[in-house]
Amino acid sequence: MQQDILINWSPQETRVAVVEHGAVQELHVERTLERGLVGNVYLGKVARVLPGMQSAFIDIGLDRAAFLHVADLMSSINSRHAEAEGPNAGGSTTAPSPQPIEKQLFEGQAVMVQVLKDPIGSKGARLTAQISIAGRLLVFLPQDNHIGVSQKIPPKQREELRQRVQALTSDMGGGFILRTNGEDASDAELAEDITYLRKTWARIKDASLRLPPASVLHQDLNLLQRVLRDLVVEDTQTIRIDSREQFQSLKAFAVEFMPATEPKLQHYSGERPIFDLFNIDEEIAKALGRRVDLKSGGYLIIDQTEALTTVDVNTGGFVGARNFDDTIFKTNLEASQAIARQLRLRNLGGIVIVDFIDMIKENHRDAVLTEFQKQLSRDRIKTTVNGFSALGLLEMTRKRTRESLAHQLCEPCSACMGKGVVKTARSVTYDILREILREARQFNPREFRVVASPKVIELFLDEESQHLASLSDFIGKPISLQAEAAMAQEQYDIVLL
């Protein structure tokens, strides 16, 4: 399948669109201010050793010294492997007791460390001396010789995968852990990832010999670099980027680490914004909405919750087929293609429940399921389809790899506080009337003033004016009204004058 990758770069944000046959399939966004330090490798300098806490403060060039506990020094590296793989994955499951930190570190000592947790508030970054470098398929452990497999891969496959990685790395130093998304990788893909990881480690070691303490030796890949590592496939025709400076930087990265991708790189210098070529901003706007219209007249309703995502398929105005069964079948077929695309476009992960329109014929259900699985096979993220349940719902899972597009670009509505609905203006007027009565029983002001949204005030002046006048007579106090355009419909204040 022909694929093109478009990159829109600005100092504050990088946006990447993966386009297949003229349609946007994936969107990736990274904002400069939101990039953390986790994964970065530094040549730190021991600022202070704390024997009582078995910890040390390390200067890595940030505003606050970072924190290193004795458990995160090299002597406890085996415990991390046992934790990462589980007790049945092979290898050591117990770690030797580490030496006291005062016997391993001293003030002024240079030590290579990696950030485990970003600084938060007044706390500095949390560090480890157990360096690990993540690739697309593997994690490289340069200070160890352990070969491991993610515990999320079924146990029956782990030993075979371990032996494959062992065969590819038998004449090399260092250890590797196969990531979950490397389960179905070919030997050529694994070998390519191994080459990248070893080159990265060689650069880190070289930098540690050249640079002074408190220097950064390696930064986790930014989105531009991850495009070459993770998104480029054999069918990728072009990788177009609209920044000349970033194009040159990415070209140099490709030449050193991923030479096969370098010929695909192009600098886009057209007058129109690069995302306008395929109406990508319009697609982003659509991907943030609940409703997705189908060409036939049907539509999808997509709702994302904490626990799962639901997709409801509706025929809408589609009446093109000769009978109702065929109408339903054709709508579900089209929906299966659209749903697979929306899962990628919105990066929806976890449990997904699809409510296709009920199909009476068994062969129709089988055809829709087959088409849906075919469309999902193009997804680079691992998916598992469990088929139709007894209630006719299709159940599936899609591996979570990053935040969904909506969670990246949006936040809960300040008017409805994430409920998705707001009280009607009439409901708010009745809340206000009850609140005035409550206040009148406790206080004795000269006047009550209602400050609310224009729509609520308009209702008080028109349809609810009689109720407002009756309440004023009952409490024996005047009630004045003030419209405030900045207020949301549910917001109001009752001022005692």
Q: Is the pLDDT of residue 321 over 60?
A: no
In the block, residue with structure tokens 């979570």: 400
Smallest Cα–Cα separation from 145: which of 166, 173, 177, 179?
173
Q: Which residue has the higher pLDDT, 324 or 362?
A: 362
Smallest Cα–Cα separation from 43: which of 103, 115, 135?
115
Task: Band the pLDDT of 77: cuts 50, 70, 90.
Answer: very low
Task: Band the pLDDT of 380: cuts 50, 70, 90.
Answer: confident
Q: What is the mean pLDDT of residues 443-463?
A: 94
Which of 34-38, 45-49, 92-96 is the least confident region? 92-96
Q: What is the mean pLDDT of residues 24-39?
A: 90
**The whole model's pTM is what?**
0.76
Task: Band the pLDDT of 85: cuts 50, 70, 90.
Answer: very low
Q: Is the pLDDT of residue 78 over 70?
A: no
pLDDT at 317: 65
Could you give the C-alpha distances from 269 to 10, 45, 237, 388, 470, in angstroms and in order? 14, 45, 18, 49, 69
Give the tens place of pLDDT for each residue, 204-233: 999 999 999 999 999 988 999 999 988 998
Neighbours of 411 (CB within 10 A): 8
Report the C-alpha gap between 145 and 175 in whole angstroms: 4
pLDDT at 343: 95
In the block, residue with structure tokens 């944000």: 13
Q: What is the mean pLDDT of residues 113-130?
A: 89
pLDDT at 87: 38
pLDDT at 400: 83
Could you give the C-alpha distances from 129 to 35, 132, 203, in angstroms and in order? 22, 9, 17
Which of 77-91, 282-296, 316-330, 434-448 is the least confident region? 77-91
Q: What is the mean pLDDT of residues 425-453?
A: 94
Could you give the C-alpha distances from 291 to 100, 298, 491, in angstroms and in order? 60, 10, 28
Whether the CB-CB separation of 23 and 4 falls below 8 Å is answered with no
Q: Is the pLDDT of residue 65 over 80?
A: yes
pLDDT at 84: 42
Q: Is the pLDDT of residue 71 over 60?
A: yes
Q: What is the mean pLDDT of residues 281-304?
A: 91
pLDDT at 74: 66
Of all residues in the chain, the percent with pLDDT exceeding 90 is 61
Of all residues in the chain, the percent with pLDDT exceeding 70 is 94
Q: Which residue has the higher pLDDT, 156 or 340?
A: 340
Mean pLDDT of the chain: 88
pLDDT at 102: 92
